[in-house]
Amino acid sequence: MPGNLTFDELKKLVHGGSIDTVLVCLVDMQGRLMGKRFHAAFFLESGHKETHSCNYLLATDLEMHTVAGYASANWARGYGDYVMRPDMLTLRLVPWLEGTAMVLCDVLDHHTQKEVPHSPRALLKRQIARLADMGLKPMMATELEFFLFRESFEEIRQNGAHSMTTLSAYNEDYAIFQTTKEENVMRSIRNGLYGAGIPVECSKGEADAGQEEINIKYSDALDTADNHAITKNGCKEIAWQQGRALTFLAKWHHEAAGSSSHVHQSLWTLDGKPAFLDPAGQYGMSDLMRHYMAGLLAHASEITYFLAPYVNSYKRFAAGTFAPTKAIWSLDNRTAGYRLVGEGSSSIRVECRVGGSDLNPYLAMAALIAAGIDGIENKLALEAEFKGDAYEADRLRGIPDNLRDAATALSGSNMLRAAFGDAVIDHYVHAANWEQQDFGRVVTDYEVKRGFEKA
């Protein structure tokens, strides 16, 4: 569901003294919340209409470095303003922050007052609108994994991100006793998010020491992306408040499992019927679903950047780790990149297992929808399902195994250029190339430890 607070309800809470601060946030290229803290009285007066932010917020890297070479924001153009227009449907309480509410914003061009095409929320909304024109609505869910650590963010930073210890000591997949050791943090996360209008279903231990998963109820694609972004921010803030740290890095250590963000997706008619379901079809799949899945597979390499946006992302793809290495589909098979789930029922859907926990949900969902639409529009035929262990199979369609190859596939994608626009694709290709370039200039611990004496 969207936010859990109306404007009139906010007025009452502000006038009653229980809310004094409103977070006004946009979502940046990395999927993070950026924005301002408004005094609630000013937000009620005029801040709810719009505010402004520097346009470099959609042209930086993880370190907030002002990366040269973007056409949309650069020194020659003076790094001007964007308009942040609150989407009041996302207004919500933030229970873990005293006296605080939050709203998400759409990002508009200061001069044209149109949404900035490469802004993550606008990208997803455009693909949702394309489906609406086809009489369809995308329903999605993300399973978000992360690692919890005994130390605080500050302690880990002061130690140079070395020698941190996971809060649990061994594999805790589904383990109640092990996850009890993390329950102080996880209970606060579940209850805090639920109080913010995020329909939390559950949390569970994942497949390594200190690894947790949080699951949010299936919803329409935009609501799911909003929930995902708020959840990541909330998890970090709540862990920080308890003196703990957590990371959504896709692969925090080479000996640990990776963290994923599986994306479940299905299409429904505008009058609420499951468009992926045909009881007479194989496994209950409609022709529409088969075309959609064929589109996902046909464009799997092209959309990988939006599922794995950093150099580190590709270290997660390893055999025997539940992270896929092949872009194929299979029935209820966790070795496949795309898994058919809910066969024969109204909940029939496809789970994309490619994405890591570091993805931007808006960009990932927009890319998946665009690929699926292409499959529908061109009536692409779905290849035969794969059976068996995809890790051991030869001559299957692989997932790009590094950022450079994913960026090349993205740049050459006629489908995504038609769906997103050339300027948008060039913007994100530039982001990918910068990540690769920045990594390439750094001497890593691995190189020094391996070669300092022996080279």
Write out residues in the chain with pLDDT < 70, as ranges. 1
Q: Is residue 77 part of a domain?
A: yes
pLDDT on residue 395: 87
Cβ partners under 8 Å of residue 292, min gap 6: 267, 276, 350, 372, 373, 375, 376
Contact 437, 407 (CB under 8 A): no
Cβ partners under 8 Å of residue 426, min gap 6: 71, 411
Q: Is residue 169 part of a domain?
A: yes
Tell whether 238 and 346 lie within a shared domain.
Answer: yes
Strand spans (E) along 14-80: 21-27, 33-39, 51-54
Q: Is residue 160 part of a domain?
A: yes
Strands 211-216 and 136-149: antiparallel
Measure the CA–CA gap between 400 and 302, rounded to whole angstroms. Answer: 9
Residue 25 phi/psi, 5-degree rounding, is: -125, 140
pLDDT on residue 270: 96
Reported as a single tens digit per residue, the pLDDT across 87-119 is: 999 999 999 999 999 999 999 998 999 999 999
Q: Is residue 374 part of a domain?
A: yes
Tell whether 213 and 332 lie within a shared domain.
Answer: yes
Domain end point (choices 93, 115, 137): 115
Tell whether 225 and 269 lie within a shared domain.
Answer: yes
pTM > 0.95: yes
Residue 163 phi/psi, 5-degree rounding, is: 60, 30
Tell whether 94 and 232 lie within a shared domain.
Answer: no
pLDDT on residue 394: 85
Structure tokens at 144: 């978000």
Q: Is residue 122 part of a domain?
A: no
Tell whether 144 and 174 lie within a shared domain.
Answer: yes
Domain end point (choices 115, 146, 165): 115
Provide the residue range defining the domain that includes 45. Answer: 7-115
Burial of 111 (0-12, 13-18, 19+ CB in 10 A): exposed
Tell whether 179 and 99 lie within a shared domain.
Answer: no
pLDDT on residue 1: 61
Tell whether 73 and 188 lie within a shared domain.
Answer: no
Tell whether 182 and 311 lie within a shared domain.
Answer: yes
Tell whether 95 and 182 lie within a shared domain.
Answer: no
Measure the CA–CA gap between 47 and 107, rounded to whole angstroms. Answer: 15
Contact 105, 84 (CB under 8 A): yes
Task: For residue 255, give the DSSP letter.
Answer: T
Closest CA to 156 of 238, 241, 247, 237: 247
168 C-beta neighbours (distance < 10 Å), count? 23
- Indicate the length of the chain as a whole number: 455
Domain end point (choices 61, 81, 115): 115
